Structure 1
Amino acid sequence: MLDISLPAWGIWRPRTTAEQAAEIEAIGFGALWIPGQTAEIAGADELLAATSSLIVGSSVVNVWAGDATTAGRSYHRLNERFPDRFVLGIGIGHPELNQGFQSPLQAMTRYLDELDAAGVPVERRVIATLGPKMLTLAAKRAGGVIPYSVTPDWTRRARAAAGDDVVIAPEHKVVLNTDPARARETNSEYMASMLRLRNYRTSLLRQGFTDDDLVGRGSDRLVDALVAHGNVSTVAAKLREHVAAGADHVAIQVMCDTAPTMSDTPVPISEDETFDVYRALHDALVNDQR
């Protein structure tokens, strides 16, 4: 179990400035997940320094992008400067994107051994888990799991398999748009690129989708399962399904490359609009529950 208490709701963002981290904290979200990290975990210092209590997690440090000894030094640097505010998230990556990709379970086991040697506590690390074998490993050697692109049913089955001592913190995508067709097209290229990666495809097939669901940017059924869309109440209800299924924390990713317009041509959504979504969801998820 993690010995840092994650709030129920957090934010997953591909890029975040120090000012944006401070704004996320001011809105009321207590955790921020930063993807695409190497073992140096660059940029986390600035995000933590710009905030007073925000928990920052790496989602994830790719085990092929630097050695565990370096990741361990990075963990200790951040923990010493900002005690109890950093969680080390690690993941195996994808064979299509990483040279030298080997057996995921063996590679992760070696990496965890090296983190042990570097003095990184089990209670301060989480693993990007999709398959049952990695989930079993995480239950023994990490404080939690941070699955990406999973349904509430995955969360339910993971909780049953892992027990109560593992923090389950899935990512879930959202689009605040009541037009289903528009919502499904938002960031469709991102969805298409994700579906070209074997690990995600395998995970989604295991979750009950079919090969037909994985064509292009994904079937409507797939997109509707992985991307909560609609009005604020509808999106909030979808996110709560993970909590009802046993999640301790949900990392919200706002899909934000396009927004509806009066024409058929989508335009980029601004950061202001993204933060408006954060505010609306925080009100629905937190303030409305008080």
Structure 2
Amino acid sequence: MTPADKIAAEKADHIARFGTHGTWGWFGRFSPEEARQIEELGYGTIWLGGSPKHLEPIRTVLEATENITVATGIVNIWNTDAAAIAEQWHELENDFPGRFYLGIGAGHPEATAEYTKPYEAVVAYLDALDAKDVPVNRRLLAALGPKMLRLSADRALGAHPYLTPPEHTNIARETLGEGVLLAPEHKVVLDTDAAAARAVGRPPVDTPYLHLRNYTSNLKRLGWTDADIADGGSDELIDALVAHGDAASVRNQVDAHLAAGADHVAIQVLGSEAPVEQLAEIIRAA
């Protein structure tokens, strides 16, 4: 095996650890019992989002489970010191070897006063992680546009796009090339009444994402218009970003990311106080 073949094989092994399906929730979203249930259902990864300043909720999920991968989606580079987060990564790696992957990103200019030159800032953050020996294959980047996608291929295991339809996944795969993790998030509402499902899905899409420049710019690159984005989002846009219907229909919609080139899709259940029950329906609807 050549050195290049060995590197590719190691990366493929890391990608396989995510499985084809995961679930996405805000930090603290899943109780220890729910985390155990998600693992028992066969999901490969639990994603925890919300720009945390520390990784204690990650430890709680890791302690509650045995083998499932856990990843951040994402740690915000502006509010978390790279050296401190690297130290926490090493602590988790020591206690739960091979299970935690560090997703980082630059967040949104509207939400961060320090936001400037995000690409350069992410590069500097990665340099700091390098200096603290956080392996390239154990980190991911929030990436939407081509420049950040290419960086995620060069300096990380891959990319974790958020709020993207399968059309973006197709473009992202072309940009990343093969052998790089592509793990988009997709929101779902289990409801066969389209109007009722949109009533659940529209508010968390509109606020804040349809008012954040990086997301709206990405949607426009995909052909969506100002009219689609205005007033809470057109029905067509909401349907593209929030899968709805019965479990089989929702499963088909999220699996469109896999058909478009994703390795993994992170499912975020909306509008339910019992997300595990709906995750069970979706995963069993193969």
**TM-score with structure 2 length normalisation?**
0.92
Cα deviation, residue 42, structure 1 = 2.3
- Establish whether residue 270 from structure 1 lines up as the match of residue 284 from structure 2: no
CA distance in 1, matches of 2:56, 2:12: 23
Cα deviation, residue 18, structure 1 = 1.5
What is the count of residue pairs matched by the alignment? 271
Pairwise CA RMSD of aligned residues? Answer: 1.2
- Establish whether residue 9 from structure 1 lines up as the match of residue 49 from structure 2: no
- Establish whether residue 176 from structure 1 lines up as the match of residue 177 from structure 2: no
User: What is the match of residue 266 of structure 1?
Assistant: none
CA distance in 1, matches of 2:182, 2:12: 10
Whichever residue aligns with residue 8 of structure 1, its letter is T
User: What is the match of residue 116 of structure 2?
Assistant: 102
Cα deviation, residue 161, structure 1 = 1.4
Cα deviation, residue 38, structure 1 = 2.8
Query: Is the 1:2–1:125 contact (alpha carbons within 8 Å) kept by the matching residues of 2?
Result: no
- Aligned 1:225-244 pairs, distance under 5 A: 225-244=240-259
User: What is the match of residue 260 of structure 2?
Assistant: 245
2:95 counterpart (81, 103, 106): 81
User: What is the match of residue 40 of structure 2?
Assistant: 26
- Aligned 1:137-176 pairs, distance under 5 A: 137-176=151-190
Cα deviation, residue 20, structure 1 = 1.5
Whichever residue aligns with residue 70 of structure 2, its letter is V
Helix, strand or coil: the match of 1:284? coil
Deviations 1:222-278 (A, max 9, x none): 01111111111211111111111110000000111xxxxxxxxxxxx432xx22211
CA distance in 2, matches of 1:76, 1:165: 25
Query: Is the 1:11–1:32 contact (alpha carbons within 8 Å) kept by the matching residues of 2?
Result: yes
CA distance in 2, matches of 1:29, 1:217: 32
- Establish whether residue 41 from structure 1 lines up as the match of residue 55 from structure 2: yes
1:111 counterpart (116, 125, 148): 125
Cα deviation, residue 39, structure 1 = 4.4
Deviations 1:163-196 (A, max 9, x none): 1121000001111111111111104321111111
User: What is the match of residue 223 of structure 1?
Assistant: 238
- Establish whether residue 279 from structure 1 lines up as the match of residue 280 from structure 2: yes
Helix, strand or coil: the match of 2:192? coil
Cα deviation, residue 40, structure 1 = 2.1
Cα deviation, residue 2, structure 1 = 6.3
Whichever residue aligns with residue 19 of structure 2, its letter is P
CA distance in 1, matches of 2:184, 2:19: 13
* Cα distance change on mapping 1:86 and 1:137 into 2, 3 Å: same
**TM-score with structure 1 length normalisation?**
0.90
Helix, strand or coil: the match of 2:71? strand
* Cα distance change on mapping 1:35 and 1:2 into 2, 3 Å: farther
User: What is the match of residue 261 of structure 1?
Assistant: none
Deviations 1:69-109 (A, max 9, x none): 11111111111100111010001101111121011111111
User: What is the match of residue 58 of structure 1?
Assistant: 72
User: What is the match of residue 148 of structure 2?
Assistant: 134
Whichever residue aligns with residue 280 of structure 1, its letter is E
CA distance in 1, matches of 2:54, 2:73: 13
CA distance in 2, matches of 1:230, 1:36: 27
Helix, strand or coil: the match of 2:56? coil
CA distance in 1, matches of 2:147, 2:51: 24
Cα deviation, residue 58, structure 1 = 0.5
